[in-house]
Amino acid sequence: MVARATPVEEVRLREYPHAGTGIHLNAASHGLVPVSGASESADFILRRNRPGGVTDAELGAIQRRSRSAVAELLGVPAADIALAPNTSYGVNVAVALVAQGPPGTIVLSEGEFPANVLPWKVLEAKGFRVDVVPSAPSGLPDEDAIVERLGTPDVRALAVSSVQFSTGFRMDLLRLGEACGRAGALFCVDAIQSLGVDPCAPAELGIDVLSAGGQKWLCSPWGSGFVYLREELRAGLTPPMVSWLGVRVRGDLGDMLQYRLDWHESARKFELASLGLQDYLGLARAVEILLEMGVDAVRRHVAVLHEPVLDWVTAARSVRLVTPTDGGRRAGIVSFVHPRTQDVAHALSEAGVVFAVREGAIRLSPHFYNTPKEMDGVVEILDTATR
Ligand SMILES: Cc1ncc(COP(=O)(O)O)c(C=O)c1O
């Protein structure tokens, strides 16, 4: 029997009893942490002060629970998941994979977040070329040009965000994955701006390496994240950062002085040690909550939250939507510019709205813990500020 998904509203009331203080529309910077996740983390930290409060077995169990929750979110085996402290770590693993092969071209898109650009630029010193495909005249990524570029010789990798941090543009990962497959290029995705609000199945999209920190749409503590690595890619790669838990340890931590480079077959090989386990408890719990509702339900809820703002943008002639008008090209972010963006931002902040200004645009990023009523309130503030 398939378990009934818990309605978004029920989870909001249970996990966010304080959500009414201010209007938090900033999941694209950091999401709100569910109260049950925060208390599990805090309890774990304090339990360790009691004799026997935390056992070695529990430490391993926390990591297994986090990997399993993330694996379920992505529809992949848990063995494909390595816990990692941030998105950047996974990007660096992808760079290490590419660096093993002959020099060639790395294709990026203009407007990528620096975490998905700087690690690639390091390869220039090894004879690789980093080719940043300019955005279309709309200011949005030019997928046609990216696909065309993938058709040129010697492309080794494509690295894109599933959703761009400033424009909110949602990439067509299936199309790009197919193009990478034809080109024999590694497909590397920074998924921090979509996981938790937009369903993603990397194995079905031809993604080779997917990385994400947990602090945004996954509503997890800072310092928690992971990287998905396709099985065939793992065996041939020595981890760029070697950790003592990346290898198999025989016995019960009682025989550690053999120093064997006997790597785990699973993606654990790439995990750093020791990790901030309290943060991975938070990650596990937060992802379990997303699974309880279903990410598709979250996506639909967030699309409804966008509506009043989109209607307002359409009605207000001086406002320009930066995020695509096509709903299929949006996930959780809605960005717009106004001739007096700073004044509008000031009015929102004064009214207790938490949001961000990115690349000159006001970026609103509501999540499942927000309500349509809050969004109506935001539109009233916007109306007054721009009148
Ligand atoms: C697209 C994107 N990638 C990565 C990051 C952050 O990278 P990291 O998790 O390594 O801090 C952000 C925002 O902070 C982002 O918007």
CA distances from 146 to 21, 135, 158, 161, 225 (A): 43, 10, 9, 13, 28
pLDDT exceeds 90 at position 145: yes
* 321 vs 171: CA distance, rounded Å: 17
Tell me if 111 CB under 6 Å of ligand 1: no
Mutate to test the pocket of ligand 1, among 113, 220, 226, 279 (most ligand atoms within 8 A of CB): 113
Per-residue pLDDT of 121-134, as tens digits, reads 999 999 999 999 99
Per-residue pLDDT of 83-107, as tens digits, reads 999 999 999 999 999 999 999 999 9
- 363: CA distance to ligand 1 center in Å? 15
Mutate to test the pocket of ligand 1, among 93, 110, 160, 165 (most ligand atoms within 8 A of CB): 165
Per-residue pLDDT of 291-334, as tens digits, reads 999 999 999 999 999 999 999 999 998 999 999 999 999 999 99
* Closest-lying ligand 1 atom to the alpha carbon of residue 161: 1
Q: What was the pLDDT predicted at 253? A: 74
Task: Domain 8-30+295-386: give its CATH architecture.
Answer: Alpha-Beta Complex (3.90)
Tell me if 365 CB under 6 Å of ligand 1: no
Task: Look at ligand 1, atom 7, and give the residue with the nearest C-alpha.
Answer: 87
Q: How many Cα atoms occupy the beta-carbon half-sphere of 152 within 13 Å? A: 14
pLDDT tier, 20 (very low <50, low <70, confident <90, very high otherwise): low
Mutate to test the pocket of ligand 1, among 26, 87, 88 (most ligand atoms within 8 A of CB): 87
* Closest-lying ligand 1 atom to the alpha carbon of residue 89: 10
- 280: CA distance to ligand 1 center in Å? 18
Q: What is the CATH number of domain 56-292?
A: 3.40.640.10
Domain definitions of the chain by residue range? 8-30+295-386, 56-292
Mutate to test the pocket of ligand 1, among 26, 192, 283 (most ligand atoms within 8 A of CB): 192
Q: For the chain, state the CA radius of gyration.
A: 22
Q: What was the pLDDT predicted at 1? A: 52
Q: Which of 52, 35, 53 is nearest to 44 (CA)?
A: 53
Tell me if 193 CB under 6 Å of ligand 1: yes
Query: What is the reported pTM?
Result: 0.97
- 54: CA distance to ligand 1 center in Å? 32
Tokens linked to 186: 């590694």
Q: Which of 223, 330, 333 is nearest to 278 (CA)?
A: 223
- 386: CA distance to ligand 1 center in Å? 31
Per-residue pLDDT of 61-86, as tens digits, reads 999 999 999 999 999 999 999 999 99
Q: What was the pLDDT predicted at 47? A: 97
CA distances from 362 to 183, 320, 323 (A): 37, 11, 11
Distance of CA 235 to the CA centre of its chain: 25
pLDDT exceeds 60 at position 165: yes
- 22: CA distance to ligand 1 center in Å? 24
Tell me if 198 CB under 6 Å of ligand 1: no
Q: What was the pLDDT predicted at 285? A: 98
Tell me whether the CATH fold assigned to 8-30+295-386 matches the one assigned to 56-292: no
Average pLDDT over residues 143-171: 98
* Closest-lying ligand 1 atom to the alpha carbon of residue 116: 3
* 89 vs 216: CA distance, rounded Å: 16
Tokens linked to 332: 């959780």
* Closest-lying ligand 1 atom to the alpha carbon of residue 28: 16
Q: Are 84 and 272 in contact (CB under 8 A)?
A: yes
pLDDT tier, 341 (very low <50, low <70, confident <90, very high otherwise): very high
Q: Which residue has the tokens 């939507």?
A: 321
Average pLDDT over residues 35-53: 96
Tell me if 90 CB under 6 Å of ligand 1: no
Residue type, 234: R
* Closest-lying ligand 1 atom to the alpha carbon of residue 91: 10
* Closest-lying ligand 1 atom to the alpha carbon of residue 213: 9
- 314: CA distance to ligand 1 center in Å? 30
Task: Look at ligand 1, atom 16, and give the residue with the nearest C-alpha.
Answer: 165
